[in-house]
Amino acid sequence: MPYTNNFIAADALVPHLNSIVGSITDPIIQSSYAGFFSVSSITVFEQAIKEIFLSFAIKKNKVFGAFIENHFSRINGRINISELRGQYIKPFGEKYLSRFDKQLAIQEDNVFNNTRISITTVYGNLITCRHKFVHTGSPTLTLPETISNYTYGKEVIHCLNHAMQR
């Protein structure tokens, strides 16, 4: 399955949430929606990351694919960029880490030059929001910020996929 199929669930929520966000006046409900969407976003990111590595491993060897599937079964929100780099990409070799760093730098510059948005920052902010909501019930972003961070944060996942091609 293409890794992008994992985005379908969160992408489908965006129009719905955008249609109701303006009518919500209760700040607690607004906050809950932001937290809910941050959890949904990070969940689809986790699944996409797993799919990228599993696809890579299966192309190398069926047994390696089974190992990677088991290895990635419990990443549970541990997908910040430093963890992607050190825990997940680096064991595959410096070649893939270098590709990821290069692709991420290119995409960071492209998006920032066009929008003044840092994809690495919004990706990290979304992970922080999810963690804060899950552990304290208080997200760190508003719903519109969460949606925007999800949209731009997907670029990090695209960079990972690009780097992990044989």
User: Which pLDDT tens digit goes with each residue over 30-61?
Assistant: 999 999 999 999 999 999 999 999 888 888 88
Give the predicted TM-score (pTM) of the model: 0.92
Average pLDDT estimate for 123-151 = 95
Distance, CA of 157 to CA of 130 (rounded, Å): 17
Average pLDDT estimate for 130-149 = 95
Residue 29 CB contacts under 8 Å (≥ 6 apart), including other chains? none
For the chain, the domain total comes to 1
Domain containing 82 equals 3-163
Of the listed ranges 23-32, 62-71, 76-85, 140-149, the least confidently predicted one is 62-71
In this prediction, residue 111 carries a pLDDT of 98
Answer for the pair 89, 163: CB distance below 8 angstroms, yes or no: yes
